[in-house]
């Protein structure tokens, strides 16, 4: 782990300050309305969305390896927070807030533990098709949950289909002024995103909405407003909590770490690649952990990489992590001096901001390409989306990961294999399916197994060799196992290989092993397999030996 902040201040260039200042202002302008809106998704007091922006941005700037990444409240993590805590306490209650703080602290601690043991690879188990399906399902859940805010009535947080039913039944109760506000802001957000993406559109519409509500006193018309937000910097500390609930929170925080880190790294890697530098994945896992702990200690909730705010920082020309530090200081100034104006903010505008942001989670183009390229992974993405919509976010993640592992094991248990033949020039041995000019040598079977030889595929390895020997038109005198792709084997694989060689020898078939790598070679030596089957450096040498000795002696 490194303290990158020291290097930031040592190497910082004066000419970067103006660009970082502009980028910081732009990020703060987006982060404030989005943070308030996302706190609503999480079922928390709106000011916690601002608290979750301040210290986490500073901490990541000091410990993270990315120069562009902005951390903060994220739609995916907010709904994960709500899914984790809502069964334990009423949304918005003191107990609910305390549990969200504990969840942030646990998520941060687990991230650091994962980093200490270099477990950042665990995020790789969430494949891109699973993430696509997860985000698509999540986007639908978030959008439906915001319909009530835009239409001016309450929707109970419940299953997606029951919520849709309730929404349809309440359409006659639509508050027209609220709906006009929400729809107008949503349309303008989409227009600005397409034609004026550099402008901080959410901030502009929040400011405009506050001014309009204040001038025309629209609060009296029945329009729902944010109301008072406490001013001042949040207190630092750990709230009182029930120890009996920590076990359940711990299990749920494991899923949150997996999702938030994976989402975090997708954003992180894409912007690092765009700006031509490398990031340190393990270092950033530490940074994410420290940022979540700082969020919890300052009464915030779980945070992750914020792709929209990172894009704003990048488009505004931000040069370094100083962008995050400047943005967090601006938010502190707002909390100290300008919270009074936020009470006039229409809730419909927040709903429109969340819906617009959630549309960005959809990636139907990727899903379309997945359908054309890999149907099994396409179905995996669709199943993940359906699980998010039916059984819930966290269970869907666990189910999708388990399903992905089962698919992986199914493929690994029956990997690709090949029969090799000699090329026309007699210098190389390649798959006979790849070149019609390649011919097998009569009496010789050269077999390649394109995977590790382990307990779950060793029987398949034996079955395939016996299958090729039995179906051969010529009587097989010799088997050459091309072990180039068998990097290692376990004891089960070695035992089955030994049994196979013994069985073939009893049938009068000589077995050679060629191109064995260090670990595999070490195992066949320890188990005595090299006494049953001669080992050669290359397939060419093994084949020549067969032609010169075995074939001539038969």
Which tens digit of pLDDT belongs to each residue from 321-361? 999 999 999 999 999 988 888 889 899 998 898 888 888 77
User: Residue 142: phi, psi to the nearest 5?
Assistant: -65, -45
Look up the pTM and report it: 0.76
pLDDT of residue 470: 94
396: closest CA among 99, 85, 88, 80?
A: 80
Domain boundaries, the chain: 15-361, 417-553
Three-class secondary structure of residue 470 per DSSP: helix
CATH architecture designation of domain 417-553? 2-Layer Sandwich (3.30)
pLDDT of residue 215: 92
Question: What residues contact 489, with CB distance under 8 A and at least 6 apart?
Answer: 452, 453, 454, 458, 497, 519, 520, 523, 524
User: Looking at residue 305, what DSSP letter applies?
Assistant: E
pLDDT beneath 50, residues of the chain: none
Three-class secondary structure of residue 178 per DSSP: helix
125: closest CA among 456, 376, 404, 383?
A: 404
pLDDT of residue 129: 84
pLDDT of residue 510: 94
Distance, in Å, from the CA atom of 135 to the CA atom of 361, rounded to the nearest integer, reads 6
User: Looking at residue 38, what DSSP letter applies?
Assistant: H
């Amino acid at each position: 782990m490194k303290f990158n902040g020291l290097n930031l201040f040592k190497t910082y260039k004066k000419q970067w300050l103006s660009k970082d200042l502009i980028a910081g202002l732009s990020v703060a302008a987006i982060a404030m309305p989005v943070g308030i809106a996302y706190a609503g998704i999480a079922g928390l007091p709106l000011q916690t969305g601002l608290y979750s922006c301040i210290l986490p941005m500073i901490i990541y700037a000091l410990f993270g390896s990315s120069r562009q990444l902005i951390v903060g409240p994220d739609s995916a993590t907010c709904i994960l927070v709500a899914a984790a805590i809502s069964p334990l306490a009423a949304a918005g209650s003191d107990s609910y807030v305390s549990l969200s703080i504990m969840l942030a602290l646990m998520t941060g601690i687990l991230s650091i533990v994962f980093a200490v043991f270099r477990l950042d690879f665990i995020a790789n188990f969430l494949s891109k098709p699973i993430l696509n399906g997860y985000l698509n399902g999540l986007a639908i859940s978030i959008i439906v949950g915001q319909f009530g805010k835009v239409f001016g009535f309450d929707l109970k947080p419940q299953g997606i289909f029951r919520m849709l039913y309730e929404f349809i039944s309440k359409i006659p109760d639509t508050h027209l002024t609220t709906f006009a506000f929400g729809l107008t802001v949503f349309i303008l957000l989409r227009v600005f995103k397409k034609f004026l993406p550099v402008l901080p559109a959410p901030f502009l519409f929040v400011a405009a909405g506050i001014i309009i509500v204040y001038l025309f006193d629209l609060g009296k018309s029945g329009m729902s407003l944010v109301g008072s937000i406490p001013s001042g910097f949040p207190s630092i500390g750990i709230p009182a909590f029930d120890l009996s609930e920590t076990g359940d929170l711990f299990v749920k925080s494991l899923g949150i770490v997996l999702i938030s880190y994976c989402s975090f790294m997708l954003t992180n890697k894409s912007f690092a690649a765009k700006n031509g530098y490398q990031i340190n994945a393990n270092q950033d896992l530490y940074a994410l952990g420290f940022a979540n702990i700082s969020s919890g200690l300052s009464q915030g909730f779980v945070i992750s990489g914020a792709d929209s705010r990172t894009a704003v920082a990048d488009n505004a020309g931000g040069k370094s992590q100083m962008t995050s530090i400047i943005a967090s200081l601006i938010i502190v100034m707002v909390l100290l001096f300008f919270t009074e104006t936020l009470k006039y903010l229409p809730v419909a505008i927040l709903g429109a901001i969340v819906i617009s942001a959630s549309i960005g989670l959809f990636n139907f183009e990727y899903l379309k390409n997945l359908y054309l390229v890999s149907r099994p992974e396409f179905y995996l993405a669709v199943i993940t989306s359906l699980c998010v919509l039916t059984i819930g976010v966290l269970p869907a993640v666990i189910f999708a990961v388990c399903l992905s592992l089962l698919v992986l094991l199914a493929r690994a248990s029956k990997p690709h294999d090949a029969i090799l033949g000699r090329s026309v020039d007699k210098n190389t041995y390649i798959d006979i399916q790849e070149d019609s000019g390649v011919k097998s040598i009569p009496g010789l079977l050269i077999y390649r197994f394109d995977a590790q030889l382990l307990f779950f595929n060793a029987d398949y390895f034996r079955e395939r060799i016996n299958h090729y020997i039995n179906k051969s038109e010529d009587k097989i005198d010799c088997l050459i196992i091309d072990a180039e792709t068998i990097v290692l084997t376990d004891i089960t694989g070695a035992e089955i290989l030994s049994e196979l060689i013994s069985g073939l020898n009893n049938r009068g078939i000589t077995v050679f092993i060629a191109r064995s790598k260090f670990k595999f070679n070490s195992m066949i030596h320890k188990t005595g397999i090299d006494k049953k089957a001669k080992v050669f450096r290359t397939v060419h040498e093994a084949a020549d030996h067969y032609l010169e000795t075995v074939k001539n002696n038969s």
